[in-house]
Amino acid sequence: MREPERIKRVLNLLQQIWELQPDSRFMQMISNIQWNYSADNNDAGKEYSYSKWETPKGIIFNKDVANVDLFYLEDDKLEEYLKGYLDKLNEYHKQQDKTISDLRKELAVKTAPNHGLLDLHRRG
């Protein structure tokens, strides 16, 4: 039997991820996670289709990505991936949290002349 506690852990991770992206629909978030998992794991779960085009110069066959199917992904691997995904989202949000006023304060400190040093220099 699979570990029942995994359900709450995985759902908790999904909840935290979703709360960082409140404008996403649930299935949109799930789809994004699937595609990102696949991209980060050597195209795992990608299914391909082929299209055929007839042109005056001949027939062209094209390989298209049709879907990402993670049906066989084990829960422990998903849980580990979600932890990393959540860490990346948190880091992204930390970087985005600097407001314009924070940037202005940093800029003001960096560009303000150091009058104290100048005054000491003039006195000495």
Q: Which two tokens stand for residue 102?
A: 């924070």
Of residues 86 and 92, more confidence is placed in 86
Non-local (6+) Cβ contacts of 10 within 8 A are 75, 78, 79, 82
Rg (Cα) of the chain, in Å, rounded? 26
pLDDT of residue 97: 77
Of residues 57 and 12, more confidence is placed in 12
Helix ranges, the chain (H): 5-19, 26-40, 75-96, 100-111, 115-123
Q: Which two tokens stand for residue 51?
A: 């299209």
Of residues 80 and 96, more confidence is placed in 80
Average pLDDT taken over every residue of the chain = 87
pLDDT of residue 119: 47
pLDDT of residue 105: 76
What pTM, to 2 d.p., does this model score? 0.70
